[in-house]
Structure 1
Amino acid sequence: MSNENNQHNHGNIKTIDISTEVRKDFLEYAMSVIVSRALPDLKDGLKPVHRRIIYAMNDLGITADKPHKKSARIVGEVIGKYHPHGDTAVYESMVRMAQDFSYRYPLVDGHGNFGSIDGDGAAAMRYTEARLSKVSNWIIKDIDMDTVPFVDNYDASEREPAYLTGYFPNLLANGGMGIAVGMATSIPPHNLREVVSGIKAYIDNNEITIDELLDNHILGPDFPTGALMTNGQRMREGYKTGKGGVIIRSKIDIEETDKSARLIVTEIPYQTNKAKIIERIAELVKDKSIDGISDIRDESNYEGIRVVIDLKRDSNPDVVLSKLYKYTSLQSSYSINLLSLHNSIPALLDLKTIIKHYVDFQINVIIKRSIYEKNKLEKRLNILSGLNKAHDIIDEIIELIKKSAGDQESKEQLMSRWDFNEEQAKAILDLQLKRLSRLDRDKLHNEMDQIKERVSYLNKLIENTEEQNTVLKDQLTDIAEKFGDDRRTETISDSVMNIEDEELIPDVKTMILLSEEGYIRRVDSEEFRIQKRGGRGISVNAANEDPIVISTMGKMRDHVLFFTNSGKVFRTKAYNIRQYSRTARGLPIVNFLNGLTNEDKITAILPLRNTKEKFKYLTFITQKGMIKRTDITMFDSINQNGKIAIGLKDGDQLVSVMPTTGEDTIFIANKTGKVIRISEDIVRPLSRTASGVKGIKVEGDDVVVGAVTSFGIENITTISSKGNFKKTAISEYRISGRNGKGIKVMNLNEKTGDFNSIIAARETDLIMIISSDGNLIKTRVSDIPLLSRSAAGVRGIRLSGDNQIQTVTLEYRKNGEENQEFEEE
């Protein structure tokens, strides 16, 4: 090619910097995605595709009061006139607008198969039908009253609204999700009644805080699928900064059956797939990531979700539940990202600002529709005034029309001769002669009066801010009454987003019972009524031949230490012990506690929290009067095979284990009713394998039956085997050296029986006494009389036959903590 040709071609080519061009093109693409596809508008809460679907359906007359029409007809209208994208994308958007599990308040009323919460797709658009829902009417209402601007469509062949009137607060009520370029939005749905309440509160007080809105009006997201939701600090941050999150958990009930328990899932987190959740659970069971599940089946129907998870006989429902929350979508996180288009610019806004912009927009719409209505009424009033005037000169007008050469001359004559304006003259000429002669003057006057009154009100509305606010509040109240419903998502207090297994389990009080034959269970202590002293109690044992021998109180997240007759200790969490009803037998402890053999017998149980700042030692008391202190940190790590806790001598066994501070005094009680009080610090700390030293002298067949510490108490409660009890001030127990015989603390006789228990209780606490026939009585410590050390006490529980007190449990109660005030009749 010649140099001349090269120069000629070069003259038609413009040299540009490629990085500049790519940057410009990508920015244009990004802005197109942001503005025209992915983000909802702050005014009507709709993305362009949703807005176009609603507008096209309204334009076709497929409203809530008209019959459904084929979805394919609607999709064709949308893509042909307004949305130059794929028909599948438009149809899928319309399908979501019709799903009551996707939209809190569906905008489309679908007829046919519109998919399911199991992830099933909708039927092809040629099979389904749709129309606008009643809610959508309030999103597009008054669009023909010059309330919103119209813009050209993609090829300038049609006009479409830039946004809809949006009387229904769609952005907050239905929320929205979208991923643009470099940004995303995730606005959760809310309860309409709460949203309206919050907007009205803002209208009444523009200085209202976001905290006040959240505390009194908008309580947080309200998802269409219900479930449970945390409402902690991250949620509040979301509404204050525009970015935050909540945890959503399935609503799961635990049902006890005769053979085992089962979990019933009735509500699942928003935007999760039920079928995939069930599939995931099956996988976890198969690879043994979750133990304890025997079967899972989906019993859901048109009435709602019901997934049944059957548990194995020896499994703990709370543990299985916590694992399901952790490893499946039965618990999921939802990010709050309040990003939307404000005047075509992406803006991350807080809750109050969103409400403010909504109110400003709605006031603007009210003013515009009022001006439109006023102008229309004034035009009508002008015509009515002309007709009224014409009524007085009707014969002359008829004569004029007869003599005129045509309409134009008649109009000009009317305007020049009687001073009618052009609209009035046209209206007179448009009337049929028979109607002109029969004009009902009273009817005209009534209509004119009504129009004048309405115009006067509209002038006031256009000028008066208070009137505008009243109209908006009334309008919102009407919407809330028509479409509002109760909250579906329950809130639970939890500010931590990444919740560990243990934190999913409520840290409530629980009672642990162990029978003589080694059956263990947890029981809710609230199942037992508080009774007056001397009552018979209620049954806690289904098998009278297998009495309860150890009972203790703790909290669900406590470490529970189990001490055996061989001096070993095992450890688990309280929530790992399965909960049963008060009359159930429970589960053999050898099946539950790994490492425990059939030869091991549990002789003491100690629920223990991480309280190293308060307690420094574990103090052990044996049946033969030995006492030992060991540093509490030596029990931090206990494997499933257990470890040595105390070196027991032949014929001896552990009676009591308690945490101590190092500065307490210890009360050790014998079966014969003698108690010794010694200072803890006279017993030097020993290793785990040590046997300890003599604490109290035990003679003959006498044995130690219990021990307590003086930490935080003023009185000592003592109980005999026949059910007598009393309180005695600790000042009546002198401190002595170890290995003494002790002092008499209860006047025992045939009626009182042997000494049974010594309890360190405060006045706010409760005592639960279990008899050998399996009856439990729960009584207030404050109801136990304060008597001298040598007194026999009063009857605390009424025993029948040869029954005796088997075990006694103390339930700690803080000051002000409510008790169950049921009394036995």
Structure 2
Amino acid sequence: MRNGKIEHMTLEQIMGDRFGRYSKSIIQERALPDIRDGLKPVQRRILFAMNKDGNTYDKGFRKSAKSVGNVMGNFHPHGDSSIYEALVRLSQDWKLREPLIEMHGNNGSMDGDPPAAMRYTEARLSKIAGLMLQDIDKDTVEMALNFDDTEKEPTVLPARIPNLLVNGATGISAGYATEIPTHNLSEVLDALIYLIKHPTASLDKLMEFIPGPDFPTGGIIQGIDGIRKAYQTGRGRVVVRAKTEIETLRGGRQQINVTEIPYEVNKAQLVKRINDLRLAKKVEGIAEARDETDRSGLRIAIELKRGANANGILNYLLKNTDLQINYNFNMVAIDDQRPMRVGLKRILTSYLEFQKEIIRRRTQYNLTKAQQRLHIVEGLIKALSILDKVIKTIRASKNRKDAKENLVKEYNFTPEQAEAIVTLQLYRLTNTDVTELEKEQEQLNSRINEYQLILTNENELAKVLTKEIRAIKKEFGNPRRTKIENHVEKLEIDTKVTVANEDVVVLVSHAGYIKRSSIRSFKASEAEENGLREDDYPLLIQQTNTLSHLFMFTNLGHIIYRPIHEIADARWKDTGEHISQTIGLADNEEIIKAMIFDKLDQPGTIIMGTSDGQVKQTAFNDYKPGSRYKSHASVAIKLRDNAQVVNVDYYEPTNENCSLLTISRQGYAVRYDVADVPVTGIRTAGVRAINLKDDDQVADQILVKDGQDIAVITQRGAFKEMPVDEIEVGARARRGELVLRRLKSHPHEIADFLAYDPDYQGAFEAITNRPAFQDIMATDHHLSSIKSNGTFVIDTDTQGEPVKLRLKQTNILTEEPVSQS
């Protein structure tokens, strides 16, 4: 209802209208600072009320509750807790670069501790806060009625210091937020002085005076480009890190000492976070983190274990704790009643214009006062020159009012002069007093000329402003606390810092189960008690350490990476985790090869062979894992239709007398030099290794050395051994020579083969498609000719057809691991 009439409005209209009013209110009257004095309304009202109450730096402290009550009762009709919180923040020297309030008692801490209740604490304005209110009684700022129209309050403070930059601001309103960092007072004042003389100064020139923020907590800012962008546009990001040093203790141990932390970081939570990382074993080498802060200053001691990598641990903590943070500039302020995102020059220019207006208004006020006083002084001098007549006139008058009227009428005095004459005390009627009045007249005339010059001459006004700024710098200037570095240092985290160097046994199974077990758990169990299902078997069992890296290759040309320390730790008797828990594989996809490497920076290449006769060689470094390795398999090779990867090998050029051997299912073998295979990228299909018949495919491809022997198993269960040297090294992409004797009926086909050293005395293990496992002793068989089909060792009717042949390990803790690169 408005003016007695009912208005019909939709809910959308009502909500839009009301929220618009609410938004305007909190933007202008609560959450954002004014670009001129850098204060929010509650802060402005606190300072004004305390100043009006005489609660200044040169007088005693008063209870905070009294100041809060004055503010709430006269200017700010909101909750006392919000007013007290604002008052406390103005006193916190770790939040403000130049605190505007001094406080006795507990005003909180960097640990996030709350302040004492306002009935316990005492407060007063700081000395520098006096500059924020200086000349407020000289009509320098607009005054407005308070909420109940009983008093007047300033719409802005004179702010003789550039408070918006010096003390910064933070706040969130409707649709707007602000984050302005603190700056060094001396630097900002120097920039203002330069800008007065050079109004067209560039941002780069201004940044010679103000290189960046200066936080009350010190620290180190990295990223000059981010600062420049923020000063240009109002938005930007920099890195703020703690100031640290590494100290050597007795006994050769080291300690990281933190003496300055990033702005607005909670110190207690920071120490807790460091200790939580230590207890969770996310980082190795920290013995203890202690808060040793005392009256002499902030100090966090991070004591390290003997032999710990101090720089590596520091880098880890910088990256994973608030010892290093990103600070985002968002410099929004109320400029001419509107929220604006402003850059450095806009803030400085607006402040200078405001200060010039303050000086003009103050000068006009002083001029008016001086002219009024001069008028009175001139009247008194005139009266003293005709004193006898004046006295006679006054004595002849009926009363005070009549005396004033007579003086105006008979001697042309103004009413103001007449008032001064009739109130003149008798002792002033001396000759000395006339001299003093004439001297005062001269001084007033001089001052009036000076005021008028300031008001009419911009250069004189600039001189006054410059002089006052220099005086402020001389009294309140102090050195910079925050160090600025041009570039953001990239943090490299050494895995040895985050992972305990521990020897473990790793298992990867044919069905896709992976696990790592401690040496102790492995030794306490039989090797066969590996927790796998009866139809599953290991592709890799190897002793390694937690700093190593596991690569698994699938038959469909994918590569899966896992750092050893990220593999689930399980007892040797447990099954472990299945790879599908983190990475989705196709229904017909399986792991065919697993290899462990000590480091990711390997000089060699990965060689792959495919069932359709292709071979591909790619630099190992091309397979370095990306950021999504935990949930995605990477492409290792581009496969043609229905082709699959049959084997994967790691090769280094230092491997002497090495060649590649590719044998097809029908027994055609091609042996060729590794150098004949070009090194290509990841998403390539490779080159032709063997010229297959239409109905043939590759059984396997392996690296062989001169002088080695080859063990072959056929699909019919026949096994044979033969020298690799009987297959000559030639060109790739040939049909090759037969290593089987062809039979017209039910011919043998190569199921799998491997190379081994002639002095090998162990066993081979043949695995069938059921699966069944059959040991074949190397010493039970003699070398056969290249055309031989070998001897039968497996009954395919009862055990199934052989699909895999491998060397059987007896004790991986003493023997050289087969898959070790």
Please confirm whether the aligned pair reaches a TM-score higher than 0.5, indicating the same fold: yes
Instruction: Give yes or no for the alignment of 1:323 onto 2:323.
Output: no
Separation in 1, partners of 2:356, 2:546? 70
Separation in 1, partners of 2:342, 2:373? 44
Once the two structures are TM-superposed, the CA of residue 83 in structure 1 deviates from its matched residue by: 0.5
Instruction: Give yes or no for the alignment of 1:145 onto 2:138.
Output: yes
- Residue aligning to 1:218: 210
Once the two structures are TM-superposed, the CA of residue 495 in structure 1 deviates from its matched residue by: 5.1
- Residue aligning to 2:619: 633
Identify if the C-alpha distance between structure 1 residues 227 and 413 changes in structure 2 by more than 3 Å, giving closer, same or farther: same
Q: Which of 382, 392, 396 is 1:399 aligned to?
A: 392
Instruction: Give yes or no for the alignment of 1:208 onto 2:201.
Output: yes
Separation in 2, partners of 1:455, 1:422? 22
Q: Which amino acid aligns with 1:244?
A: G
Once the two structures are TM-superposed, the CA of residue 570 in structure 1 deviates from its matched residue by: 13
Q: Which amino acid aligns with 2:228?
A: R
Sequence identity (%)? 39
Separation in 2, partners of 1:81, 1:245? 41
- Residue aligning to 1:470: 463
Separation in 1, partners of 2:62, 2:10? 53
Separation in 2, partners of 1:135, 1:15? 55
Q: Deviations over 1:206-235 (max 9, x none)?
A: 111112211x11010100000011133222
Compute the TM-score of the two structures, normalised by the length of structure 2.
0.61
Pairwise mapping of residues 60-459 of structure 1 onto structure 2 (< 5 A)?
A: 60-214=53-207, 216-257=208-249, 258-437=251-430, 440-459=433-452
Give SS of 2:211's match: coil
Separation in 2, partners of 1:63, 1:494? 44
Give SS of 1:336's match: strand
Identify if the C-alpha distance between structure 1 residues 37 and 635 changes in structure 2 by more than 3 Å, giving closer, same or farther: closer
Separation in 1, partners of 2:651, 2:545? 6
Contact 1:187 1:337 in 2 (8 A): yes
Q: Deviations over 1:378-429 (max 9, x none)?
A: 1111111111111111122112111110111100111111111111110011
Once the two structures are TM-superposed, the CA of residue 485 in structure 1 deviates from its matched residue by: 0.8
Separation in 2, partners of 1:569, 1:262? 27
Contact 1:295 1:309 in 2 (8 A): yes
Separation in 2, partners of 1:102, 1:267? 14
Contact 2:408 2:414 in 1 (8 A): yes
Separation in 1, partners of 2:293, 2:235? 35
Q: Which amino acid aligns with 1:163?
A: V
- Residue aligning to 1:6: none
Contact 1:647 1:688 in 2 (8 A): no
Contact 1:91 1:125 in 2 (8 A): yes
- Residue aligning to 1:713: none
Q: Which amino acid aligns with 1:68?
A: F
Identify if the C-alpha distance between structure 1 residues 12 and 448 changes in structure 2 by more than 3 Å, giving closer, same or farther: closer
Q: How many residues align?
A: 532
Identify if the C-alpha distance between structure 1 residues 93 and 638 changes in structure 2 by more than 3 Å, giving closer, same or farther: closer
Q: Which moved more, 1:51-60 or 1:315-324?
A: 315-324
Contact 2:404 2:422 in 1 (8 A): yes
Separation in 1, partners of 2:703, 2:442? 101
Q: Deviations over 1:89-110 (max 9, x none)?
A: 1111111111110100000011
Q: Which moved more, 1:419-428 or 1:280-289?
A: 280-289
Contact 1:151 1:160 in 2 (8 A): yes
Give SS of 1:56's match: helix
Separation in 1, partners of 2:280, 2:126? 46
Identify if the C-alpha distance between structure 1 residues 477 and 644 changes in structure 2 by more than 3 Å, giving closer, same or farther: same
Once the two structures are TM-superposed, the CA of residue 338 in structure 1 deviates from its matched residue by: 1.2
Once the two structures are TM-superposed, the CA of residue 503 in structure 1 deviates from its matched residue by: 12
Contact 1:646 1:690 in 2 (8 A): no
Identify if the C-alpha distance between structure 1 residues 12 and 479 changes in structure 2 by more than 3 Å, giving closer, same or farther: closer
Q: Which amino acid aligns with 1:73?
A: K
Separation in 1, partners of 2:105, 2:431? 54
Identify if the C-alpha distance between structure 1 residues 331 and 416 changes in structure 2 by more than 3 Å, giving closer, same or farther: same
Larger relative contact order (Cα-Cα within 8 Å, sequence gap ≥ 6)? 1
Separation in 1, partners of 2:411, 2:441? 20
Q: Deviations over 1:142-181 (max 9, x none)?
A: 0011110000111111110000001111011111011010
Give SS of 2:619's match: helix
Contact 2:131 2:159 in 1 (8 A): yes
- Which 5+ residue runs of structure 1 have no aligned equivalent? 1-10, 505-567, 574-607, 619-630, 651-661, 663-686, 692-825
Separation in 1, partners of 2:256, 2:41? 43
Q: Deviations over 1:474-501 (max 9, x none)?
A: 11111111111111010122258xx554
Contact 2:239 2:488 in 1 (8 A): no
Once the two structures are TM-superposed, the CA of residue 251 in structure 1 deviates from its matched residue by: 0.7
Once the two structures are TM-superposed, the CA of residue 636 in structure 1 deviates from its matched residue by: 6.4
Separation in 2, partners of 1:244, 1:502? 26
Separation in 1, partners of 2:621, 2:82? 62
Q: Deviations over 1:2-35 (max 9, x none)?
A: xxxxxxxxx9643212211110000000010000
Identify if the C-alpha distance between structure 1 residues 503 and 138 changes in structure 2 by more than 3 Å, giving closer, same or farther: farther
Identify if the C-alpha distance between structure 1 residues 186 and 435 changes in structure 2 by more than 3 Å, giving closer, same or farther: same
Contact 1:570 1:643 in 2 (8 A): no
Separation in 1, partners of 2:222, 2:450? 47
Pairwise mapping of residues 27-66 of structure 1 onto structure 2 (< 5 A)?
A: 27-66=20-59
Contact 2:234 2:330 in 1 (8 A): yes
Give SS of 1:282's match: helix
Identify if the C-alpha distance between structure 1 residues 569 and 121 changes in structure 2 by more than 3 Å, giving closer, same or farther: closer
Once the two structures are TM-superposed, the CA of residue 51 in structure 1 deviates from its matched residue by: 0.3
Once the two structures are TM-superposed, the CA of residue 280 in structure 1 deviates from its matched residue by: 1.0
Once the two structures are TM-superposed, the CA of residue 50 in structure 1 deviates from its matched residue by: 0.5
Once the two structures are TM-superposed, the CA of residue 126 in structure 1 deviates from its matched residue by: 0.9
Contact 1:151 1:161 in 2 (8 A): yes
Contact 1:227 1:489 in 2 (8 A): yes
Give SS of 1:144's match: helix
Once the two structures are TM-superposed, the CA of residue 319 in structure 1 deviates from its matched residue by: 1.5
Contact 1:248 1:332 in 2 (8 A): yes
Once the two structures are TM-superposed, the CA of residue 434 in structure 1 deviates from its matched residue by: 3.2
- Which 5+ residue runs of structure 2 have no aligned equivalent? 496-543, 550-598, 606-616, 626-648, 658-677, 679-701, 707-821
Separation in 2, partners of 1:43, 1:306? 37
Identify if the C-alpha distance between structure 1 residues 83 and 429 changes in structure 2 by more than 3 Å, giving closer, same or farther: same
Give SS of 2:244's match: strand
Identify if the C-alpha distance between structure 1 residues 305 and 569 changes in structure 2 by more than 3 Å, giving closer, same or farther: closer
